[in-house]
Structure 1
Amino acid sequence: MTGNLDEIDWAILEELQRDARVSLSELGRRVNLSSSATTERVRHLEARGVISGYAAVVDLSAVGYPVLALVRLKYPGNRHEPLRRLLGERREILECLRTTGDDCYTLKIATTSMDHLEKIIDELAAFGSTTTSVVYRQTLPYRGPARPTP
C-alpha cells in the first residue's frame, strides 16, 4: 500500500479524476465493487481528506479569459497578510504556490486581455519584483496524480 491507499482506492481515484460526475453505481462497476462498497470507499476517502472536493474543469477562453500567465513574485517582506488579502480578492488569480528559491510565490493568472494582466501585475508589484510568462498553449492539462511506483 502506498500512503495507506490500496489498489481499489487508487482505481477509484483514477476514475473520479477522469470523470467526477460518474454515478457511484457506475464507479463500482468500473472498479469491480458493489454500489454500497463503492459509496463507503468514497466516503472514507473524503473523510480522510484524500478527496478534498469536486470541481468543473472550465475552458478559460470560452468564459472570456483568453490570457493565461505564470507570475513569479519575489516578496522581500515578512508580512504576508496583505498579499493573502489580495489573493482572496482577485479571482483572476487561479492558483498561488509558496516556493523555495529566488521567488517566494508562483501564481497562475487568467485575464480578459493583456491590459487586464498588466493591471494585476501592477498590483502585485507593490509586494515585490515580478517575472511574468504568458502561456501560449496548455499542452498538458492538470490530470491528477497516479499511483506512485516503487
Structure 2
Amino acid sequence: MDVTDQKILNALIADSRISQKELAARVGLSAPAVAERVRRLEERGIIRGFTIDINPEALGYPLQAIVRIRPLPGKLHIVEQIIQEIPEFGECDKVTGDDCFVARLYVRSVSDLDNLLERIVDKAETNTSIVKAKSVERRMPPFQLS
C-alpha cells in the first residue's frame, strides 16, 4: 500500500459515496486509475465493502449498553446462538479473559435491556454498563506503508 492508496482509503472513510471523478481529483489520478486502485484494494481484502453510518438514536434506540458475558459451563454455543438471534446486539466480540463475549446492545429503555438479558440469565453471567458518551468514534487503525 502506498501513499496514494492511503489517500484513497482516507477519502472513502470520510465519504464512501464519493464519485470516482471526485475521488480521482482528490488523489491526483484519472478516474480509471482510481477505479483500478479501488478494485485492487478490494481484491486484497483491504476494502471489504462500502457502508452507511446509521444513528441508532434517530431510530428510537437512545441507549447503548456494553455487556460482558460469561457463559456457564457447557453453555457457550447456546449463549452465542442466542446473541446472534437478538437483533438489538449490534456487535459482539468473542474475547479471551474471564468473559467470553463483549457485546454492544442498542435498546429503547433500561426495561428493554433487562428483558433482553433475561433470555440468557439462566445460561450466563453478565456485567452491564450503560454508555454515557463516546470518547472516540469508531475509526480505523493507522495505515502503515508497506
TM-score (norm 2): 0.90
Describe the SS at the equivalent of 1:94.
Answer: strand
| Aligned AA (1:144) | M
Sequence identity (%): 34
Cα distance change on mapping 1:92 and 1:48 into 2, 3 Å? same
Q: 1:113 aligns with which of 109, 116, 128?
A: 109
- Between 1:138-147 and 1:18-27, the stretch displaced more is 138-147
| Counterpart contact for 1:14–1:146, Cα < 8 Å | no
1:51 aligns with 2:47: yes
1:37 aligns with 2:28: no
| Counterpart contact for 2:79–2:124, Cα < 8 Å | no
- Between 1:82-91 and 1:127-136, the stretch displaced more is 82-91
Name the structure 2 match of 1:88.
Answer: 84
Aligned residues: 146
**RMSD across aligned C-alpha pairs, in angstroms?**
1.9
| Aligned AA (2:117) | I
Describe the SS at the equivalent of 2:119.
Answer: helix
| Counterpart contact for 1:99–1:105, Cα < 8 Å | yes
CA distance in 1, matches of 2:39, 2:122: 44
Give ranges in structure 1 of 5+ residues lacking alignment: none
Q: 1:75 aligns with which of 66, 71, 74?
A: 71
| Counterpart contact for 1:45–1:51, Cα < 8 Å | yes
Provide Cα deviations, 1:11-35, integer angstroms capped at 9, x if missing partner.
1111111111111111111111110
Give ranges in structure 2 of 5+ residues lacking alignment: none
